[in-house]
Structure 1
């Protein structure tokens, strides 16, 4: 299929591309307006940088932009204006170079964020606007509660309430299996995830931490539902760091993920309830650094393949309390 030209962008079924010229080592030309990018952001948006002796390629979806540099006055979440320059595109993302051999992994990361989430970040980075979710600044007592979380998580995962939650969610997942297998055909990762969440919980996405909240002793068990397609490269978004710390600052609170693994080819679904501090998750969590700033510690994603083992029948959940405390201390200090 020949690409369709939409103004300065060439569009196919699988990706969109913009050609831009660079006669020097630096690439600072204006590439595209932010409003135009919005129309193409659901698929890989590639910038072809034509140099005198070679052509370079970079992904320039919203996740990979640092800010909006050109004509950005008045940029707000309700007023998409301005354009991005070549110098605004990240050369690497969380240690992964922005080069063609990494595009599949990078785009999988991008799919975990909505346009609205990226837009809010870009507004804050461009205009120094304070985001809606201000940075959490815990008191000494709250830091103590956060660092005590590994011990209470270890107790919670062996409780009757936790076991009942795992059994109930697994049963609801099985009942929703036909709908889940149909939902995985949805290309948009956020719409797909919200659809699967709704099938299991019966509720829409509130964008708050905890798609389901249950009583746990004198406290609460907040459960987020995450979906992993086992036959595709993906990096599910885990959580907003400040929201996590805010929750864990409550002395009796516990955060867990109900992870739904879907093998669409074999028509199978798997479910596993894991605490946020499970060894398998801590090994796989990466903090998105360019989301962090004066008023945010950023967000986390589950990347790599090590955490896929949680779906094995032989898998046993575990919490290494010392490692978990170091992990939490690192989140606090960001």
Structure 2
């Protein structure tokens, strides 16, 4: 069918576990457990003001500091990121690179580094918390959560973005700012790293809502169109946010 490639790119980044939940529900009418975030009047006001907060953040010195810290981590673990970048399993690849940049256990990080350099490349068992953001940074006026994502430039797939209920719950906090840090990887080369808001104009337009594949106790999850991230990584940094469009998008999420 003419939409096969688009459908495949959507499923490819969900991984086995993500697709298994949907298959079980579709075939057995069994829904995954989940908690739908209840948005109060006060919470809604704070959520709808999130784009304005994000605009202030990306124009601040705090944004430059966050970008600098993340770039320093990439530079420090450049070789290991390139090795991990071509691990076939999407989930393992993402978790390793996420931990190299944002992990808190230095011993575990060192064991991952050693495993990546080992010829048999047996990765030690480790768990990552399924939080909204991988890298948490608290500033005086902003509480930031940044999700670290790798984009393999030669692959066409749509990366997972975020759980809608989790993002609404986070944005209901006064100083909350949710960012994405994308690392573009080619064979033997890191192409670029960009730090942008979830509301960045191009990224927002590329956001795919997967409500119909989620449980009834959830608003669902989102994905990004991989080709848009590809273009963003190859273009001069653009942190522009359209406030009105972003507010309308948030209203759509709340109403799911």
* TM tier, smaller: 0.7 to 0.9
Deviations 1:9-48 (A, max 9, x none): xxxxxxxxxxxxxxxxxxxxxxxxxxxxxxxxxxxxxxxx
Deviations 1:94-118 (A, max 9, x none): xxxxx3x554443332232233333
- Please report how far the alpha carbon of residue 315 of structure 1 lies from its aligned counterpart in structure 2 after TM superposition: 2.9
Corresponding residue number in structure 1 for 2:202: 280
Report deviation, 1:304: 5.0
Please give the per-residue CA displacement for 1:146-205, whole angstroms capped at 9, x wherever unaligned. 111111110011222221110110111122111111112211111111111122123553
Q: Deviations over 1:277-303 (max 9, x none)?
A: 111210111011322453111110011
- Measure the CA separation in 2 of the matches of 1:167 and 1:187: 29
Specify which structure has the bigger relative contact order, considering alpha-carbon pairs within 8 angstroms and separated by 6 or more residues: 2
The within-5 A match list for 1:165-176 is 165-176=66-77
Equivalent residue number for residue 47 of structure 1: none
Evaluate the alpha carbon distance shift between residue 200 and residue 243 of structure 1 in structure 2; reply closer, same or farther with a 3 A threshold: same
The residue matched to 1:206 in structure 2 has which SS? coil
**Cα 1:256–1:111 shift into 2, 3 Å:** same
Normalising by structure 1, report the TM-score: 0.65
1:230–1:263 Cα contact (<8 Å) kept: yes
Instruction: State whether residues 219 and 252 of structure 1, in contact with CA within 8 Å, keep that contact through their aligned partners in structure 2.
Output: yes
Give matches, 1:1-334, under 5 Å.
99=1, 102-123=3-24, 126-129=28-31, 131=33, 133-203=34-104, 205-264=128-187, 267-303=189-225, 305-312=227-234, 314-334=236-256
CA change 1:165–1:112 in 2 (3 A) is same
Q: How many aligned positions are there?
A: 233
CA RMSD of aligned residues (A): 2.0
If the length of structure 2 is used for normalisation, what is the TM-score? 0.83
In proportion to residue count, which structure has more helix?
A: 2
- Structure 1: 5+ residue stretches without partners: 1-98
- Tell me the distance in 1 between the aligned counterparts of 2:224 and 2:49: 23
After the TM superposition, which of the residue ranges 290-299 and 226-235 deviates more from structure 2?
290-299
Superposed displacement of residue 308, structure 1: 2.5
- Distance in 1 of aligned mates of 2:72 and 2:54: 23
CA deviation profile, 1:219-267 (whole Å, cap 9, x unmatched): 4100111111111101100001111111001121110011111122x62
The structure whose Rg is larger is 1
More strand by share: 1
Q: Which runs of 5+ in 2 are unaligned?
A: 105-126
